[in-house]
Each structure stands twice: as structure tokens, then as C-alpha cells.
A = this chain, B = another copy of it.
Amino acid sequence: MIAQPSKNLETFPNPRPGRDFTIRMEIPEFTCLCPKTGQPDFATIHLAYVPDALCVELKALKLYIWSFRDEGAFHEDITNRILDDIVAAIQPKFLQVTGEFNVRGGIWTNVIAEYRQPDWQAPSLVDLP
């Protein structure tokens, strides 16, 4: 059974819809193509979100990340597109996407973009000693 890359981000219902909790994911296996040179780029993608009614399904997320494999896109653009796609799929209360790209030309680049629901209040953080 051969799997296929897919832009379809499947979801499942948030198991604790009444509680603001955090889900973090680290995906070290992201690769796409450089739109200038056509050569492969590599990155680690980090997600941090507070779900509303829906969560991202793990296996679908993997196929979604795979779908960038043959696409050409710039670092700044990719990070914002991943943000937009996941927001469209699950309408989270908050989502932060970080693209941590491998060195090119002696320069390491990270791009970080965020979405939050207009009326959502970030939790007052309890910072224990």
C-alpha cells in the first residue's frame, strides 16, 4: 500500500474543548525545492497551538508536510503558507509556526509566524518558581 503526499489536513474533535491546552509538534523531516536554483532545501518545522473545536491528525500532517517535497518556495513564504493552511483546517485559538532552515551561503535562517483568534485571550501564564 503506497501512501501519497496530500494537502488535505484531516482533523479530529478536540477531546477537551472547554480547556485551553497546548499542543507542540517538531517535524525535523521537511524538504522542499529552492525556487531560484531548483535544489533541495531542508528544514525543521515547529508547531505550537491551542485547539478550539479541532486538532490536526498526526498521519495527515505527515502527508501534508510531504506535499512540499516537489514544490519551490522561499523560506518566508513557506512558513506563512503552513500557518495559513493549518489555520484554515482547524481554526485554532492560537497557532505559531517556526521554520528552522538549514544553512545556505553560511547563513542560518528561522522564520516565525503566528495566528490568533481576534477575540481570544492568551492565558495568564503561571510561572512557578
Residues of A in contact with B (beta carbons under 8 Å apart): 1-4, 14-16, 19, 21-29, 31, 37-40, 42, 48, 50-51, 55, 58-59, 61-62, 65-66, 69, 74, 76-77, 79-80, 94, 96, 98, 102-114, 116, 122-129
Task: Supply 7 further A-B pairs (C-beta < 8 A) apart from A23-B111, A40-B66, A122-B127.
Answer: A21-B112, A28-B42, A31-B31, A96-B128, A96-B129, A122-B126, A122-B128
Main secondary structure of the interface of A (DSSP, over half): mixed
The 8 closest A-B pairs by CB, nearest first: A2-B38, A21-B113, A24-B110, A26-B108, A29-B106, A22-B112, A122-B126, A62-B105
Most buried by B among A25, A58, A123, A126: A126
Q: Are B123's CB and A129's CB within 8 A?
A: yes
Chain B residues contacting A16 (CB-CB under 8 Å) are 76-77, 80, 113
Chain B residue with minimal CB distance to A74?
B15
10 CB < 8 A contacts A-B: A3-B37, A15-B76, A19-B80, A21-B80, A21-B111, A21-B112, A23-B111, A40-B69, A122-B124, A122-B127
